[in-house]
A and B are shown apart, each in its own frame.
Chain A
């Protein structure tokens, strides 16, 4: 809902905003940029074109990198209203949404997603915003599956999906889901960490 240039600096001087106070809150309820965010940003800055959507934008940091580095208009959506607000403070067009459900057919040329992917024992679900940001359910793929089922609808012809996949979630399993959804996958960047390997794959219609 903004006509602003996404590269515009965010107004941090509003005395009524209680920004510092909200920032404190936001760090506990909104996922902050980490290694996976950096990897997705690297791939997205290289591959993004046209109209861009970042699903599960969290703090909006990745979306902001794409907007700043590539001068593209970026929409950041998140289930968490605190995240949508934080993304907006970064100059990203924030929307509160469940995955791709409120986006039109063919609306975006690029869709980025760093999903909540940690496999989580149902007995250990802790049910707060941070859990929503991290947990991918028992398989680690509970958000990836519905995302892949619907992303083809929102993706314009010639569009690309940039999806972060962790080895914890099962790389081969995720790629099989992507193939079943009609996509061919190419790895763009990959990095290994002590407990997981992170890969950003570019998905294009097969």
Chain B
């Protein structure tokens, strides 16, 4: 998905794929090339919440 960036500093994200199904990425990690923050992809859905909101949303 070329439309996303790091929510904190808007820098590029680097994709590491853990699980792929045809052309779809099911699991993996997006890492900010600037600040190093990581964002998970689970069940095909990237979670791009800033880290502080991610904790809250998991509840």
Contacts and interface: CB of A to CB of B under 8 A. Distances in A.
Interface of A: 1-4, 51, 53, 75, 79-81, 84-85, 88, 93-98, 101-105, 107-108
B44 A102 contact: no
Contact of B48 (A53, A93, A101): A101
A80 B44 contact: no
Chain B, interface size: which category?
20 to 34
Interface of B, helix, strand, loop or mixed by DSSP = loop
9 closest cross-chain pairs (CB), A and B: A3-B23, A102-B48, A101-B7, A107-B3, A102-B7, A96-B47, A1-B25, A2-B24, A94-B45
Contacts, number: 76
B49 A104 contact: no
Contact of B50 (A53, A95, A101): A101
A18 to B, nearest CB: 13
A110 B16 CA distance: 29
Q: Name the residue among A53, A75, A93 with the largest chain B CB count within 10 angstroms.
A: A93
A25 to B, nearest CB: 15
A128 to B, nearest CB: 10
A69 to B, nearest CB: 21
Interface in B2-58: 2-7, 10, 22-26, 39, 41, 43-50, 53, 57
